Amino acid sequence: MLKSPSTKALVTLAMAVAGIAALSTPMALAQGSTKPTPTQGTPAKPFIKTVPAEKAFPFYEPYLKLAPSERTHMRMSYQFKITGTEARDLKIRLLSGQKVTPVTIGLKGEPSVYPTLEDLKNKAQLQFEAPKEPKISISMELRPTTPADTDIPVADLVKAIDQVNKGSKKMAGVLAMAVPKMNAIFLMGGTNGQAVMADGSQRPLPMVQEGKVAVFVPDNHKGAIRLVFDTAPEQMQIGPYKPKKS
């Protein structure tokens, strides 16, 4: 799983909102797990584990409680990292009342189905079934809704950062002062990233993580109207950025 520059900020946000130490937690520690012990001469039963959806998708309910107009340009993304069993052997189901919805995990770890606000209010469960016990961890990212492309409007990215800063404080409630300020967009995988200014001039975007991630900080590129790349970034994330002192 790609380690993003915003991971530390998201962990800090998690601590501010819920007082926990990290967002990546082995699901084997969650309540509702079962670890069958086969008896001699009988076939092993599948490993089945059921956990509250609110634990599998931390902070998603307060995010959904934001007004739709407050999250038009940003979204929460979750990645499931699964080891110890083949992906094809793992079955995941979202259980909400009498409704059972199959969930698949994409190549980048993102689930195909997210719980709705109604699901979370109704204490929906996420059920995992595999031939043997897997190890499952979950991470969370804040992303712009704007598609990663070779030509990206800056206004959309600025709006995404603004919505994250305002929305995260509402989610944190009385602990809002502990939430870090997001000021940057991290663009993973794109090549030759440039900020295009209103007069048509271009300024190269700074790079981090050994040149693999471009960083756009609106305050450092005042007057920029677009970001352009030779090849489109694979994904974008929102987080804080403070350049290292040389």
**Confidence (pLDDT) at 38:** 52
Q: pLDDT (tens digit, 9 = 90+) per residue, 214-230?
A: 999 999 999 999 999 99
Query: Mean pLDDT over all residues of the chain?
Result: 84
Secondary structure string (H, E, C) spanning the chain: CCCCCCHHHHHHHHHHHHCCCCCCCCHHHCCCECCCCCCCCCCCCCEEEEEEHHHHCCCHHHHHCCCHHHCCCEEEEEEEEEECCCHHHCEEEEEECCEEEEECECCCCCECCCCCHHHHHCCCEEEEEECCCCEEEEEEEEEECCCCCCEEEHHHHHHHHHHHHHHHHHHHHHHHHHCCCCCEEEEECCECCEEEECCCCEEECCEECCCCEEEECHHHCCCEEEEECCECCCEEEEECCCCCCC
Assign 5 a pLDDT band (cuts: 50, 70, 90): very low
Looking at the predicted structure, is the pLDDT value of residue 233 above 90?
yes
Q: What percent of the chain has pLDDT over 70?
A: 81
**Confidence (pLDDT) at 176:** 72
Q: pLDDT (tens digit, 9 = 90+) per residue, 112-161?
A: 999 999 999 999 999 999 998 889 889 999 999 999 999 999 999 999 99
Assign 18 a pLDDT band (cuts: 50, 70, 90): very low
CA–CA gap between residue 157 and residue 144 (Å, rounded): 7
**Confidence (pLDDT) at 6:** 41
Assign 108 a pLDDT band (cuts: 50, 70, 90): confident
Q: What percent of the chain has pLDDT over 90?
A: 64
